[in-house]
């Protein structure tokens, strides 16, 4: 009888531990929330460097063609604006043989991006960890793709932008999946995800 009771107790313990594991797994997965976007920003080739466009610009001006505003954590506060722009008049003396299109992101309200270059060229991630160990940029503008292959996303296919949002001293880590064309005249913002567990890492592409 005693042996049977011990066996039953052992089975109950295994069931309890298994339940705890399943609950923790579900919670861990629930903390990471992914959102589909599929927004394509582009510079129409018929307008690029065209006389009507140039006539409306001043020397040193950047011409924005399209943009997309992203609230990555869904709190109603803008975090990132993605843009495709023409730098023709901003560059001024740049040779005509260089493409003058660019893709970039404006950061707002405590949003930061991974930038191990420290020069404003955000990291184009594949499956790397996004955490406090990374180098984070507080610049208001980060470059994704620009002239002379300077941007790390330009022509690289699907890549991930590492993002973190600061709220009341805590950080929430996430990513945005992007695809920047070889000429930086098109930026496809595909999807994003964020880990709602405070100060916990996320892997690029994880959900």
176 in any annotated domain = yes
Q: What angle do CA 44, 47, 53 make, to 5 degrees?
A: 140
Mean pLDDT on 103-128: 95
4 in any annotated domain = no
Q: 102 lies in which domain range?
A: 32-203
Is residue 115 classed exposed, middle or buried when 0-12, 13-18 and 19+ CB atoms within 10 A define those classes?
buried
Q: At residue 18, does pLDDT exceed 80?
A: no
Domains identified in the chain, total number: 1
- Which 8-state DSSP code applies to residue 12? H
Q: What is the pLDDT of residues 125-167, one digit of tens each?
A: 999 999 999 999 989 999 999 877 778 999 999 999 999 999 9
Q: pTM of the prediction? A: 0.80
pLDDT of residue 28: 47
43 in any annotated domain = yes
Counting Cα atoms < 13 Å in the Cβ hemisphere of 3 gives 0
5 in any annotated domain = no
18 in any annotated domain = no
């Amino acid at each position: 009888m005693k042996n049977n009771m011990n066996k039953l107790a052992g089975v109950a313990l295994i069931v309890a531990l298994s339940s705890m594991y399943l609950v923790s797994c579900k919670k861990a997965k629930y903390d990471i929330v992914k959102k589909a976007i599929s927004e394509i920003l582009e510079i129409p080739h018929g307008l690029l460097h065209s006389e009507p466009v140039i006539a409306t610009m001043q020397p040193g001006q950047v011409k924005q063609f399209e943009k997309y505003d992203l609230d990555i954590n869904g709190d109603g506060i803008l975090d990132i604006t993605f843009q495709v722009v023409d730098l023709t008049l901003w560059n001024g003396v740049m040779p005509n043989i260089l493409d003058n299109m660019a893709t970039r992101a404006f950061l707002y309200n405590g949003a930061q991006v991974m930038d191990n270059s420290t020069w404003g060229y955000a990291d184009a991630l594949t499956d790397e960890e996004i955490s406090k160990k990374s180098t984070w940029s507080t610049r208001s503008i980060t470059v994704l793709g620009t002239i002379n292959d300077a941007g790390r996303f330009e022509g690289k296919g699907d890549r991930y932008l590492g993002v973190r949002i600061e709220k009341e001293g805590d950080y929430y880590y996430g990513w945005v999946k992007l695809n920047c064309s070889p000429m930086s005249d098109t930026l496809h913002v595909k999807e994003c995800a964020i880990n709602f567990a405070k100060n916990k890492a996320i892997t690029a592409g994880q959900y």
